Structure 1
Amino acid sequence: MERMMHARPLPARRAHPLRIALIGCGPRGLAAAEMALDQMPSCRITIFDPSATPAAGPNYAPEESPHCLLNLRAEEVTLPFPERISFSDWIAQTSAPGPTAEDYPPRRRMGQYLQARFTALQQAHPGAIRHHRQIATNATRDAAGWWIETHAGAYGPYDELVLTMGQPVTRADPTWASWRAQAAACGALMATAYPGHALQRKARGWAGKTVALRGLGLAALDVVALLTLGQGGQMAGGRYLRSGREPARILPFSLDGVPPLPKPARTLQPRFALRDAETAQLHAAIARALTLDPDAAMDDIAQALEAPARRISGAAPTDWLRIERDSPGAQDAGRTPRDILREGIEMAAGCRPAGVGYCIGQIWRSLQPALRRSFLTADSRPDTRAAVLAFDRGLKRLTYGPPLGSARLLLALVQDGLVQLTLADDPAIRLTAQGWALDRDTQATVMIDAVLPPPRLDRIDDPLITALLREGGLREAPATGGIDVDATGCAAPGLTVLGRMTEGRSIAADSLLDCYGAMTRAWAERLALPPAQPRPAAENQHA
C-alpha cells in the first residue's frame, strides 16, 4: 500500500479509543503517557523506544554513575499526580543512609523513580501501554492513520503521532567533525560526556594524560567529577585528595572560561524570595513584554527586574542589566574565572553578600514557570521571542547552577592544579601530531565534548524527523530554527512534537520540570476534546 504524507484526510475519531504512537520515552514521554491516560483513560499508547528502561531516558539512566547529580533538590522536584508518591518521599522510603530530601540526589535515582512511576501507570491502566524496543525510522499516513516503520516492520494505524525523543540524533558540528577525522592519525582520543558511566570507565586509562573538556556548563561539572571522584579521589576539609588515577590535568574551556555559579544553600533561599506584589508585577511584565517589539520587550523586563533586584542586593542593577542584554557575562570582564567561581561559592554559602547578578539569577529562576506559560500562549513576533530566548540563555549561568558541593569540588581542583579553567574558541584550537594545542604551551591528548547541540533542524540527522521534514509534516520555527508548533505542540494535524526541539514556541524546555509542563498538559487536553466521527479499529503489524 502506498502511504504518502497528507495523501488523504485524517482518520475520523468516534467509535474506538484514541490510538497514540509515542516516539521516545524518557521523562517527557512518561509525562505525555500519564497526562493522556489521566484525560482519556480509554486511550491506547504504543511506545517506540529501544531502551530497556522506559521513562528514565539516557539522562537519568538507572546505570548512570552516582557522581552525576541532579541540579534540583529532591523536594524541588514537584511533578503532577503526587498521589503516586512524590520524589522526596520516594527517596526517603527507598534510601539506606545516603541521599536525603536535603541533598541533590544522583540522577540515576531520578531514573529509578521515573521507572517506578511508569510501572505504577501500567498497573493502573492494564493493557493501555505497549512498548516496542525499536527505533522508528519513518512515519507515513493513509486513510486509516499513521504507520510507524522500524527495521522490524510497520506498525499501526495510529490516530496521533507524538515525538518525545529529547535530543534527536544530531550531526557533529564542523569543528568536532574535523577533529574526529584527524584524531585517529595522531593517536588522539575523543569522547562525549554521556553516558557518564561509560566515560568513567574509559577514564581509567587516562592517568597522567592531559584532558581537554569542551564546554563549561553543568555537563562539564559532571565530567570533572567522573574524572576525579570517579577515579577514587576524595574531598576532605575543603581540599581534594588525589588517588593517583586521575588525569595529570583537566582543561575545561569555553569562550569566557567561567563555569555556572552554584545555587544558594538551602538556608539562604528565603533571602531571594519575591514579595507577592513583586511576583505579580513581574508576571504581568513578562506577559506584556511578549506582545511588544524586541527592544521594548527587553526594556519592560529589565525595568520590572530592577526594583526586586535592588531590594535583595542593596545595589543599583541598571548598568548590570543593560550590559547583560547586549553581552551576557561581560560585567565580569577583567576578572579571572577562578575569582568568579570562588566569589560565587561564597555568595551561595552566605559568606559574601550576594551581588546584583547573582540576585537577578535567583529572581529569574523563580519566574521560570510564569515565563514558560506566557511564552507558550503569547502571540509574539519571532524576533521578540528570539530576544527573550537569548536573555534567558545568557542567564542560565546564574539560574541553572550546580549544587554547591559540585562547585566546591571544582574550586578545590583548580586550587590543587589538577583543573585549569581555560578561555578558548573552538576554531582557535589546532589538532597537531602531539594532540590539541589550546595555546602555545598547552597540549591535550584527550578531548571530551560536553556541549549540548542546539535544537536546530539543520543539525538533525534522525531518520524519522528527516522523513517528516521531507514530506512536509514538520516546518522550521522562524525564531530558532527548531520545529514550528502551536501552544499544544501541534506541528500538523495528528502530529505533535514535545520537548527541546520546540524552542521558540517553548522556552527552557531542557528542564525536567518542563517535561510535565504546560505544553504537555495542553496536548493531552486537546486530544480529550470531543471527537467528530468514528475511527477504524485494531492495531496491526506488517512485517
Structure 2
Amino acid sequence: MSTVRQSLVIVGAGPRGTGILERLAANTSDDYGELALDVHLVDPYPPGGGRIWRREQSPLLWMNSQAQDVTMFTDDTVELAGPVVPGPVLHEWAGIDGRTFADRRRQGGYLRWVYERAVAALPDGVTVHHHPRRALRVSGSRHGRQQVWLEGVTRPLSADAVVLAQGHLDAELDDEQMELSEYAARHGLVHLPPDFTADSDLGALAPGQDVLVRGFGLAFVDLMVLLTEGRGGRFEGDTYVPSGREPVLHVGSRRGVPYHSKLGYDWDAGERPPLPRFLGPAQIDELLAKEGGFGPDDFRCEVWPLIDKELGFAHYHRLFTAHPERTSVAWDVFEEKYAAAAPLSAEQQALVAASVPDPADRLDLAALDRPLDGVRHASYEELQAGLRGHITDDLERRHDPAHSPDLAVFLGLLSVYGQLVRLGDVGPWWHGFFSYLASGPPGPRLRQLLALSRAGVVKFVGADMRVEARDGVFRATSASAPGVRIEARALVEARLPQPTLARTRDRLLRTLHEEGARSTDAGLLAVDPSDGRVLYRDGSAHPRRFALGPHTDARGAGAFTRPRTNGPSFRQNDATARAVLALLRDLSCRTTAA
C-alpha cells in the first residue's frame, strides 16, 4: 500500500467491534505493504466491553456461560481465510476455575484486555481513536469517501470504509407496549417495557408490591437478582432470607418455565457425534440455490426437519455409544436405518420406538419446546408446587452424566446455529428455541429461584401467559391454571427489545433504512453473507459499508463463543476484516496510479 493516509470508522466498540479490530490486526501482514490508517471507534461506552459488559454495573450480575466456555480468540477449528491467532480463554486470563460463572464486570475486564492486545498488534502505521459519542448518520456516495456524523460534533468523520457493529439496540415501543404504557400513565401504574435489565428503572417497584413479569429467560434472571440480593436479601444454603425490600414477582411466559439450566458436567469419554451430518454445508447450499431463494417462511417445512434429524442423530449417537444398555439394537444397525428414514417421518419414529425401549431416552423436541402443554393445575398453590417440581427435575437431569445425550444435543445445537448463519433471516422462533435449550442460566441461579419461590418472593403464573389492562389494574391469566387471575399495579416485560430497523432507536440505522438499505421480513438489516456488506433495495451491495451483529440477518450466537466450536462470529469477523483491507488496498492502488 502507499502511505496515503486512509480512514476506517467502526461504530460500536464492544465485543463485536473488538473482534473486528483483532481480525484487522491478524490479517495485516507484509502482503499489504506499508499501512497508513486511522481507525475511529465510535461508542459512548468504553472500548472492549461496550454497554453490556461495562464495569459500571452490579457485581451480582453473572455471565450465563462458564469461564472455560468464553473466548475471543480463533483456533484451528475456525474455518477462515485469515491466520489463526490463539489467545487465552476467560478462565485462563482471569486465573479462575474454568467452571466458574464469572461476573460481567470480570468479562468486561477480559474484553478490555483483548481490545488493548488487538490495538498493540496493529502495525505502526495504524492509529486507533476512540470517540465516546453516538453515531447519528452516515452519508456519502457509493464511490466516494463516507461521512459519519457524531452527536454533539459539527464536522463528520471522513471514512474510506464504515463497519456498523452496534450490538444490541434499544427500540421504540410497539403498538401493544405503547397502549400498556399509556394505560399505566393514566391509572398511576408502573409499566417497564422491554429493556436491558441492568439499565431499567427498578426503583419504581416498591417493597411488597405485586409485580407481573412477562418473560422467563435471562432478562428475568437479572431482574430476579437485582430485586432480591440487590436489595439486601441473602441466600443461606437453599433458604432465602429476605430484606423486606423485595417486591413479589409473578412470572410467566409462553412456555411458562425458565430456560433449561446450563449443563453441570463435561464430556467425560467416548467419541463425540460427527457433526454436521444431516444439516451441513451441502444442505445449506441446496437451500440457497432453491428457485425463488430461501425465506423465513421456508424454515418450518424445509429447515426444521433437517434440524430435528441432526439433533436426533447427536442424541442417539451418544445414547447408543455411551449407554448401550438402554438400547435394543447395535448402533451401526440403527445408524443405517436412521440415515435412510425421512426426517419427522413415521418410519423414523417407529425406528426410534423399536430401538430405544424407554420413552424417557427418546428425543422429543416438540415436548421440550412446550413442556406444560396439556398440564392443568386446580389452584394457584398447586401450580407453584408443580413448577418447583419441574425446575428441580431439570436441575437434576442437567447435572447428571447419565443423561449425557443432552450434552450431545447441545453440541448439535451449536453446529446447527453455525450452519444457519449462512441462510440469513430464518425468523425469530429459532433463536428463542436455541436460547431456551442451549443458553439458559447457571444451575445456582435456578436453585436460587426455587428458594425465592419457597419464600414467596417469586410466584409462577404458568404457560401462555396473557396480560390485559382493565379496571385500573393489570391482570394475568394462563393456560396452566384455568380460572386463576392475578392482579397487580406493575408490569415488567422481562425481555430484550427486538432489533428491527423500523423501531430501533439507533438513528444511524433508521436513517440508513429510510435511504434505501434493505430489511428482511423480520426487520433486520440485510447484508451480504460472504463479507457483511450492507444490501440495498435495488439489489446492490454498498462497496464501503459493512454491518455485523444482532441487528443484521448475519447475526451469530454471540460476539464471543466456546473454544473449538468453529464460532460463526469469528468467521464473520475475519471475512469482513479481510474485505475491508482489500477495499483499502484497492483504493490505495487507485490513488497511487492516479
Counterpart of 2:257 in structure 1 is 258
- Structure 1's 511 and 414: CA in aligned 2 closer, same or farther, altered over 3 A? farther
In the alignment, the residues of structure 2 paired with residue 520 and residue 441 of structure 1 have an alpha-carbon distance, to the nearest angstrom, of 49
Greater Cα offset, 286-295 or 19-28 = 286-295
What is the Cα deviation at residue 344 of structure 1?
0.5
**1:105-504 alignment runs, 5 A limit:** 105-125=102-122, 128-142=127-141, 144-150=144-150, 151-191=152-192, 196=197, 202=203, 206-247=206-247, 249-265=248-264, 268-270=265-267, 275-276=271-272, 278-280=273-275, 282-283=276-277, 285-290=279-284, 291-292=286-287, 294=299, 295-312=301-318, 314=326, 324=365, 328-329=369-370, 333-334=374-375, 336-350=386-400, 354=403, 359-360=405-406, 362-367=407-412, 370-377=415-422, 386=426, 390-391=429-430, 393-423=432-462, 428-430=467-469, 432-433=471-472, 435-439=473-477, 441-472=485-516, 474-478=517-521, 480-487=522-529, 488-491=531-534, 492-503=542-553
Asked whether the equivalents of residues 68 and 107 of structure 1 are also in contact (C-alpha less than 8 Å), the reply is yes
Greater Cα offset, 31-40 or 510-519 = 510-519
In the alignment, the residues of structure 1 paired with residue 579 and residue 41 of structure 2 have an alpha-carbon distance, to the nearest angstrom, of 20
Q: What letter matches 2:312 in structure 1?
A: E
What is the Cα deviation at residue 240 of structure 1?
1.7
Greater Cα offset, 65-74 or 524-533 = 524-533
Q: What letter matches 2:65 in structure 1?
A: L
For residue 168 of structure 1, give the secondary structure of its aligned residue in structure 2: coil
TM-score between both structures, scaled by the size of structure 1: 0.81
Q: What letter matches 1:396 in structure 2?
A: S
Q: Deviations over 1:196-255 (max 9, x none)?
A: 55558727x6211112222111111111111111122222232222222212x1112212
- Structure 1's 17 and 375: CA in aligned 2 closer, same or farther, altered over 3 A? farther
- Structure 1's 323 and 410: CA in aligned 2 closer, same or farther, altered over 3 A? same
- Structure 1's 284 and 400: CA in aligned 2 closer, same or farther, altered over 3 A? same
Q: What letter matches 2:447 in structure 1?
A: R
Query: Percent of aligned positions with the same letter in both sequences?
Result: 22
Counterpart of 2:588 in structure 1 is 534
Q: What letter matches 2:442 in structure 1?
A: P
Greater Cα offset, 75-84 or 255-264 = 75-84
In the alignment, the residues of structure 2 paired with residue 250 and residue 300 of structure 1 have an alpha-carbon distance, to the nearest angstrom, of 39
In the alignment, the residues of structure 2 paired with residue 54 and residue 298 of structure 1 have an alpha-carbon distance, to the nearest angstrom, of 38
What is the Cα deviation at residue 155 of structure 1?
2.2
Counterpart of 1:8 in structure 2 is none
Asked whether the equivalents of residues 234 and 242 of structure 1 are also in contact (C-alpha less than 8 Å), the reply is yes
Q: Deviations over 1:328-348 (max 9, x none)?
A: 325754174333212111112
Q: Deviations over 1:64-110 (max 9, x none)?
A: 11221111111111221676644212322xxxxxx643210111111
Counterpart of 1:9 in structure 2 is none
Counterpart of 1:7 in structure 2 is none
Q: What letter matches 2:21 in structure 1?
A: A
- Structure 1's 338 and 359: CA in aligned 2 closer, same or farther, altered over 3 A? farther
- Structure 1's 16 and 174: CA in aligned 2 closer, same or farther, altered over 3 A? same
Q: Deviations over 1:1-55 (max 9, x none)?
A: xxxxxxxxxxxx966354211111111111112212322373421011112x222
- Structure 1's 510 and 447: CA in aligned 2 closer, same or farther, altered over 3 A? farther
Q: Deviations over 1:273-299 (max 9, x none)?
A: 8734x324x345333432247535433
In the alignment, the residues of structure 2 paired with residue 78 and residue 300 of structure 1 have an alpha-carbon distance, to the nearest angstrom, of 29
What is the Cα deviation at residue 136 of structure 1?
1.2
In the alignment, the residues of structure 2 paired with residue 485 and residue 269 of structure 1 have an alpha-carbon distance, to the nearest angstrom, of 37
What is the Cα deviation at residue 259 of structure 1?
0.6
For residue 270 of structure 1, give the secondary structure of its aligned residue in structure 2: coil
- Structure 1's 144 and 306: CA in aligned 2 closer, same or farther, altered over 3 A? closer
- Structure 1's 262 and 369: CA in aligned 2 closer, same or farther, altered over 3 A? closer
1:32 to 20, 23, 39: 20
Q: What letter matches 1:19 in structure 2?
A: S
Counterpart of 1:59 in structure 2 is 52
Q: Deviations over 1:491-541 (max 9, x none)?
A: 1211111001223x444347666684211111112223373343799xxxx
In the alignment, the residues of structure 2 paired with residue 156 and residue 228 of structure 1 have an alpha-carbon distance, to the nearest angstrom, of 45
Asked whether the equivalents of residues 311 and 413 of structure 2 are also in contact (C-alpha less than 8 Å), the reply is no
In the alignment, the residues of structure 2 paired with residue 274 and residue 476 of structure 1 have an alpha-carbon distance, to the nearest angstrom, of 45
What is the Cα deviation at residue 169 of structure 1?
3.2
In the alignment, the residues of structure 2 paired with residue 332 and residue 353 of structure 1 have an alpha-carbon distance, to the nearest angstrom, of 26
In the alignment, the residues of structure 1 paired with residue 523 and residue 409 of structure 2 have an alpha-carbon distance, to the nearest angstrom, of 25
Q: What letter matches 1:285 in structure 2?
A: L
In the alignment, the residues of structure 1 paired with residue 435 and residue 87 of structure 2 have an alpha-carbon distance, to the nearest angstrom, of 31
Counterpart of 2:93 in structure 1 is 90
In the alignment, the residues of structure 2 paired with residue 359 and residue 393 of structure 1 have an alpha-carbon distance, to the nearest angstrom, of 21
Q: What letter matches 2:505 in structure 1?
A: D
What is the Cα deviation at residue 369 of structure 1?
5.0
For residue 501 of structure 1, give the secondary structure of its aligned residue in structure 2: coil
Q: Deviations over 1:154-180 (max 9, x none)?
A: 323211111100123311122221121
Q: Deviations over 1:262-318 (max 9, x none)?
A: 0121xx2226x8734x324x3453334322475354333323333432354558878
- Structure 1's 147 and 451: CA in aligned 2 closer, same or farther, altered over 3 A? same
What is the Cα deviation at residue 323 of structure 1?
6.4
In the alignment, the residues of structure 2 paired with residue 410 and residue 178 of structure 1 have an alpha-carbon distance, to the nearest angstrom, of 31
Greater Cα offset, 192-201 or 231-240 = 192-201
Greater Cα offset, 296-305 or 208-217 = 296-305
2:9 to 21, 30, 35: 21
Counterpart of 2:323 in structure 1 is none
Matched, 1:517 2:570: yes
TM-score between both structures, scaled by the size of structure 2: 0.74
What is the Cα deviation at residue 62 of structure 1?
0.5
Greater Cα offset, 186-195 or 205-214 = 186-195
**What is the total number of aligned residue pairs between the two structures?**
496
- Structure 1's 485 and 444: CA in aligned 2 closer, same or farther, altered over 3 A? same
Pairwise CA RMSD of aligned residues? 3.4
Q: What letter matches 2:70 in structure 1?
A: V
Asked whether the equivalents of residues 182 and 431 of structure 1 are also in contact (C-alpha less than 8 Å), the reply is no
In the alignment, the residues of structure 2 paired with residue 298 and residue 83 of structure 1 have an alpha-carbon distance, to the nearest angstrom, of 35
